Structure 1
Amino acid sequence: MSTLLLALAAGAVIGLALGALGGGGSVLAVPALIYLLGFTPAAATTASLVIVTATSATALYTHATSGNVRWRTGALFAAAGIPPAIATATLSARVPEAVLTAAFAVIAALAALAMFRPPATERQPRPARPARAAGAGAGLGAATGFLGVGGGFLAVPALVSVLGLRMRTAVGTSLLIITVNSLAALTARAGTHTPLHWAVIAPFTGAAILGAWDGKRLASKISGPALQRTFAAVLLAVAALMLADALR
């Protein structure tokens, strides 16, 4: 299969996951870029930030038109993540590839295990503790910058548990945070001279954006918990393969 077709197919699958699950799908972008399209771990995490930024911004628009974004809350949460995102994005280019692959495998495994859990219980919004909110935002920014993941699987639970947002609002607000953090990390990586293979990234991103729209329709036809568990199982298997590869 040609590189273009592989990029389109991988992008479509990841977009479907993003659209159907509302978060976590982008974590498959890095292994797809490494094992299907021949990217190095450093190049894959940078390319993933391009894909995550574009798809998150598109999804953010759709959620904003539905009134599901808490702009002020999201901006404050994202602000705490910008410095760590920039710092870890710069650090990532200097880390050995095996270490980067192993770290990504661990995060992917944690994301998969989180998806096996029942959804968090919605509660009434409440004033957040600034220290907890800042800590959660900083942690998400660090993961985004270092590993090139969107972090929806981390942001949504944090917004529900730390800020008490309802699930729909948490998903919409997380997209604002992910877009800002990914853009900050991508800007920091612009000075690392990591190559961006646009002939692959552009079709991959386009297919992911289109797939996300179809993912919403897929979610309405398949049981949400069943879909989430299936994706979690695939992600856990990918994480195990990546960890084995890093430890060889």
Structure 2
Amino acid sequence: MILEAFLGLLTGTLLGLLGGGGSIIAVPILVYFLGMQAKSAIGISLIIVGLASILAALSHLARRQLIFRAALLFGLAGIPGSFVGAWVAGFLSDTVQLSLFALLMLFMGILMFRQRAEREVGKADSNSNRPSASLKRSNRIRALITSGVGAGFLTGLLGVGGGFIIVPALILVVGLPVKKAIGTSLVIIGINSLAGALAYATAYDSHLKLAGGILPYAAATIVSAPVAGYLAYYLEADKLKKAFAGFLLLLSIWMLAKQTSGI
């Protein structure tokens, strides 16, 4: 129970601090520490992450670091993507699904480690947080919807929040400053995750078996996420992101080795 609560605390803290990036560790924890099957882990993680994201967004809302219009447009676009992703997941075995998850985690770790998003943030901030002048309003809306559908698809397929797509899109396409992008992304992740959870509940209800220890893990995640969202305004997250990126790289390699070796 203590281990499960600690892992939930870790997930919620990373979720609140990084605007969704931390949610990617929920599925590996449920599979490898709590012994759940892949589809059960994804379905349950979507419920936990969805609720935790909405609660974490409240701390950003209190500081007016959240843009509802962008969140609703992006999030609503992600709902059909979540259902399609969940449908496609039905054709994948657990091994294939977890291997794809590990590859995505590897990509995300490399992306975070190289800090491409941070460099683009600096460019956006130096331009008064305005979106690229080469993008017309109609093109920005189209790009936002496309990004939303893509993020929703990944949420339904693999159970990831898609923050690594959402935050850069909000910064580069909409022109939001980084803190508003993080706050807004939490609402989007909440919408996508709960839509994905509904898709899994209807398509794979027989798979959604609760594992022992899920309650302390879920409770710790949901409680710690909004607290971490509040603390995000007082902490320098760059070093945390770099350390987390290294952790993702190691975890993804371990997952790939485990899936390919059948250990």
Q: Deviations over 1:189-212 (max 9, x none)?
A: 112122241753332121013333
Tell me the distance in 2 between the aligned counterparts of 1:72 and 1:220: 23
Q: 2:240 aligns with which of 218, 227, 230?
A: 227
Equivalent residue number for residue 86 of structure 1: 83
Task: Determine whether 1:174 maps to 2:179.
Answer: no
- Equivalent residue pairs, number: 245
Q: 2:56 aligns with which of 59, 62, 75?
A: 59
Tell me the distance in 2 between the aligned counterparts of 1:185 and 1:213: 21
Q: 1:13 aligns with which of 6, 10, 15?
A: 10
Paired amino acid for 2:250: A
Shift of 1:71: 0.9
Q: Give the CA RMSD over aligned residues.
A: 2.0
Equivalent residue number for residue 70 of structure 1: 67
Where structure 2 has 5 or more consecutive residues not aligned to the other structure, the ranges are 132-136
Task: Determine whether 1:113 maps to 2:126.
Answer: no
The answer to whether the Cα contact below 8 Å between 2:167 and 2:185 also exists between their aligned partners in 1 is: yes
Alignment of 1:115-194 (within 5 A): 115-118=112-115, 119=118, 120-121=121-122, 122-123=124-125, 124-126=129-131, 127=137, 129-191=140-202, 192-193=204-205, 194=207
Equivalent residue number for residue 134 of structure 2: none
Percent identity of equivalent pairs: 36
Equivalent residue number for residue 237 of structure 1: 250
Change (3 A) 1:91 1:168: same
* Runs of 4+ off more than 4 Å: 216-223
Paired amino acid for 2:255: M
Tell me the distance in 2 between the aligned counterparts of 1:65 and 1:169: 12
Q: Secondary structure at the match of 1:141?
A: helix
The answer to whether the Cα contact below 8 Å between 1:86 and 1:184 also exists between their aligned partners in 2 is: yes
Shift of 1:217: 7.4
Shift of 1:221: 7.5
The farther-off stretch of 202-211 and 29-38 is 202-211
TM-score, scaled to structure 2: 0.85
Tell me the distance in 2 between the aligned counterparts of 1:112 and 1:198: 28
Q: 2:213 aligns with which of 191, 195, 200?
A: 200
The farther-off stretch of 198-207 and 60-69 is 198-207
The answer to whether the Cα contact below 8 Å between 1:54 and 1:205 also exists between their aligned partners in 2 is: no
The answer to whether the Cα contact below 8 Å between 1:51 and 1:201 also exists between their aligned partners in 2 is: no
Q: Secondary structure at the match of 2:253?
A: helix
Q: Secondary structure at the match of 2:66?
A: coil
Tell me the distance in 1 between the aligned counterparts of 2:166 and 2:217: 24
Q: Secondary structure at the match of 1:165?
A: coil
The answer to whether the Cα contact below 8 Å between 1:85 and 1:141 also exists between their aligned partners in 2 is: yes
Tell me the distance in 1 between the aligned counterparts of 2:113 and 2:186: 22
Tell me the distance in 2 between the aligned counterparts of 1:201 and 1:89: 22
Tell me the distance in 2 between the aligned counterparts of 1:222 and 1:168: 12
Tell me the distance in 1 between the aligned counterparts of 2:70 and 2:234: 32
Tell me the distance in 1 between the aligned counterparts of 2:247 and 2:231: 18
Q: Deviations over 1:139-198 (max 9, x none)?
A: 100011111111222210111112111111111111111111111111111121222417
The farther-off stretch of 237-246 and 113-122 is 113-122
Tell me the distance in 1 between the aligned counterparts of 2:150 and 2:36: 26
Change (3 A) 1:145 1:33: same
